[in-house]
Amino acid sequence: MAIDHISSLFAKLQALSTSDHGSVVSMNIFVALLCACIVIGHLLEENRWMNESITALVIGICTGILILMLSGGRSSHILVFSEDLFFIYLLPPIIFNAGFQVKKKQFFVNFITIMMFGAIGTLISCAIITYGVAKTFKKIGIRSLEIADYLAIGAIFSATDSVCTLQVLNQDETPLLYSLVFGEGVVNDATSVVLFNAIQSFDINQINPSIGLHFFGNFLYLFTTSTLLGVFTGLLSAYIIKKLYIGRHSTNREFALMMLMAYLSYMMAELCYLSGILTVFFCGITMSHYTWHNVSESSRITTKHAFATLSFVAETFIFLYVGMDALDIDKWRFASDRPATSLAVSSVLLGLVLAGRAAFVFLLSFISNITRKSSKEGISFRQQVIIWWAGLMRGAVSMALAYNQFTLLGHTAKRANAIMITSTITVVLVSTVVFGLMTKPLIRFLLPVPSGLTPKRKNSTANIVDSASPKAITVPFLSNGADSEANLEPQESSYGRTPRSIRDLLSTPTHSVHRLWRKFDNSFMRPVFGGRGFVPIERGTPTERNTQNQWH
C-alpha cells in the first residue's frame, strides 16, 4: 500500500518533471542526497576500504534502483547527465583546488617524469587500446564502428581520471606517487585534446613521420600556451591584489577576485580551444605561490578551506551523478538484448586498460630510473605497481567523452553505440569501485609505514587551523612569523620533517634549475607580484624567512 502510494506520488512527480516544479523536486532530492553523502562519508572515514567517491557512487546507484522500482521501471535518474554541467561547473573547481593545494616542490622535481607519463604514456596506452579494440571487436560481433571510433575509444580509455586519483592517493602519505599519478592526469588532458583534434583533422590512412612531428609540435604548443595562460592569470590576480591592496576594504573582494579570475582562466582556455584543465591547474599553482600571500590573514584561511570545500562538493556531486546515471534504463535496453556481447566488450576494454597502462608505466619508469644519477631516488618496483594500479580508474571524464562520441545527433539508435555507452558505464563502475576499493589496502600492503604515523599525517593538512582546542589556533599566530606562515600554506611545507628529501633534492640535476628559479623569483618576480615574505613585512624579518624560501 505504502509503496503503491509512493509510486503514484512518484508518477505525479514524473509527470511534473518537464515543468519547473519537477526540476525543483529533482534538485531537492539531489541536494538532500549530497548532504547524506557528506554525513555517511564522515561516518565511514575511519573505514580502511571505503572512500568518499565510492560512498557517493554507491548511494547514487541505490537511489537509482529505488527510483527505478518506484517508477515501475520507467526511469532511474532525476537529472539528465549534461556535459556542460560537468565541464563548465564541476571540473574547474576540482582541478583549480588541486593546483592550489599541490606540493609544488614534489611536482616540479618530478616534472620530466610527469611529462613523460602524461604525454608519451598516454600515447602508448591509446595506441595499445586502439589496436586491441580494432582486433577484437570484429570477432565479438561489433562491426558498425569505424576507425575513428576505435581511435576515440583509445583516447577515452587511455586518460587517467585526476578526480579519482585525488580520492585514492594521499598527498601527505605518498607524496611521490600522488604527484606522479595526479600530475600525469593533468598533463594527459592536453594530450587528449591534441589527440581528439588529430583524429578529426588528420587522414588516418596516411600515417608518416611528418604527422608525428606535427602532432608533437601541436602538443608542445598546446601545453605551453595553456600553461602560460594559467600563469599569466595567476600573476595578474597577484598583481591586482598587491597593487590595489584589495583587502583594505573587505575580505570578500579578495576571495571573490581569486575565485572569479581562476574561473576566467579556465573559460579563456576553453574559448581559445586550449586545455582548460592545464590552465586552471597552473593558475592554481601560481595563485598559491603569489596571490595567496598577498591577501589578508582571514582571506588565507577562507580561500584555503572554501576552495577545498567547493572542490569536495563538486567531486561528491560527480560521483553521485555518475552512480545515479549508471542505471538509466534507456541505455541498457539495447545492450540487454545481447548480454554476452556487452559483457565481452566491457571485459575487453577493462583488460586493455590494464595492459595499456602496464605497458607504459613499467617502461617509462625504467627509462626514468636510468636517467637519474642515484638509485635511491628512483621509482621502486613496488611504487611502479601502485602507479599502475592507482591510475587505472576511469571516471566522469571518460563518461562525458563517451557520451560526446557515441550519442551525438541521435546516433545512439545504433546498437554498437548503445553497447559502447553501457560498456563505458561498466568500466567506470568496475574500475572506480573495485580498483578504488583495493588501492588503499594495496598501498598499505606494498608500502607499509610505521604504525601511528599515518593517521596523524593524514589529518595534518586539513586540521592545521582546524581543531576546537584553542592551542591549535593560538600557536600559529604566536610563534614567529616564518613558522606561522609555513603552517598556514595551502600545501604543507615538508622541510624539517623529511630532511632526506632536501638531501635528495641537492643531488639531482633539477637543483641547479631550482636555484636559478629561486634567484629569479626573489630578485624579479616577488618584488612585482608579492608572494611569501614580501607583503607581510610586519611579521618576522625577511632574512629569517629567506632561509625557508625553497620552491615556495
Residues numbered 529-548 forming contacts with a second copy, rule: CB under 8 A: 535-536, 538-539
Q: How far is the CB of 486 from a second copy (least distance, A)?
A: 15
Residue 380 or 479: the one with the smaller Cβ distance to a second copy is 479
User: How many C-alpha atoms does 528 have within 13 Å on its Cβ side?
Assistant: 9
Q: Which residues of 81-109 are buried (b: 16+ CB within 10 A; e: fewer)?
A: beeebbbeebbbbbbbbbbbbbbbbbbbb
* 300 vs 489: CA distance, rounded Å: 8
x/- binding map, residues 258-287, to a second copy, per CB under 8 A? -xxx-xx--xx-xx----------------
Record the cell numbers describing residue 163, joined without a space.
578526480
DSSP characters over 421-452: HHHHHHHHHHIIIIIHHHHHHHHHHHS---TT
Dihedrals phi, psi of 468, to nearest 5 degrees:
-80, -15
Residues numbered 83-102 forming contacts with a second copy, rule: CB under 8 A: 84, 88
* 125 vs 361: CA distance, rounded Å: 10
Residue keyed to cell 608519451: 120
* 402 vs 155: CA distance, rounded Å: 10
Count of helix runs (H) and strand runs (E) in the chain: 29, 0
146: alpha, beta or left? (left if phi > 0; alpha if psi -120 to 50): beta
Examine residue 301 and tell whether it contacts a second copy (CB under 8 A). yes
Dihedrals phi, psi of 110, to nearest 5 degrees:
-95, 20
Residue 276 or 323: the one with the smaller Cβ distance to a second copy is 276
Q: How far is the CB of 7 from a second copy (least distance, A)?
A: 19
Q: How far is the CB of 421 from a second copy (least distance, A)?
A: 21
Residue selected from 73, 410, 452, 470 as contacting a second copy according to rule CB under 8 A: 470
Q: How far is the CB of 365 from a second copy (least distance, A)?
A: 33
x/- binding map, residues 449-468, to a second copy, per CB under 8 A? ----------x--xxxxxxx
Residues numbered 200-259 forming contacts with a second copy, rule: CB under 8 A: 240, 244, 246-247, 249-253, 255-257, 259
Residues numbered 103-132 forming contacts with a second copy, rule: CB under 8 A: none
Residue keyed to cell 575487453: 348
How many residues bind a second copy, per CB under 8 A? 71
Examine residue 408 and tell whether it contacts a second copy (CB under 8 A). no
Residue selected from 312, 319, 332, 534 as contacting a second copy according to rule CB under 8 A: 312
Residues numbered 41-70 forming contacts with a second copy, rule: CB under 8 A: 41-43, 45
Residue selected from 3, 9, 15, 39 as contacting a second copy according to rule CB under 8 A: 39
End-to-end distance of the chain based on CA atoms, in angstroms?
Answer: 64
Residues numbered 168-197 forming contacts with a second copy, rule: CB under 8 A: none
Count Cβ atoms below 10 Å from residue 151 Cβ, excluding itself.
23
Residue 7 or 459: the one with the smaller Cβ distance to a second copy is 459
Examine residue 137 and tell whether it contacts a second copy (CB under 8 A). no
Q: How far is the CB of 390 from a second copy (least distance, A)?
A: 21
Residue selected from 71, 136, 197, 302 as contacting a second copy according to rule CB under 8 A: 302
Q: How far is the CB of 99 from a second copy (least distance, A)?
A: 17
Examine residue 4 and tell whether it contacts a second copy (CB under 8 A). no
> What separation in angstroms does the CA of 530 have from each of 51, 101, 199?
38, 19, 43
- Pick the stretch among 149-157, 182-190, 291-299, 346-354 that binds a second copy (CB under 8 A): 291-299
* 357 vs 360: CA distance, rounded Å: 6
Examine residue 469 and tell whether it contacts a second copy (CB under 8 A). yes
Q: Tell me if 93 sits within 8 A of 335, measured CB to CB.
A: no
Dihedrals phi, psi of 532, to nearest 5 degrees:
-55, 130
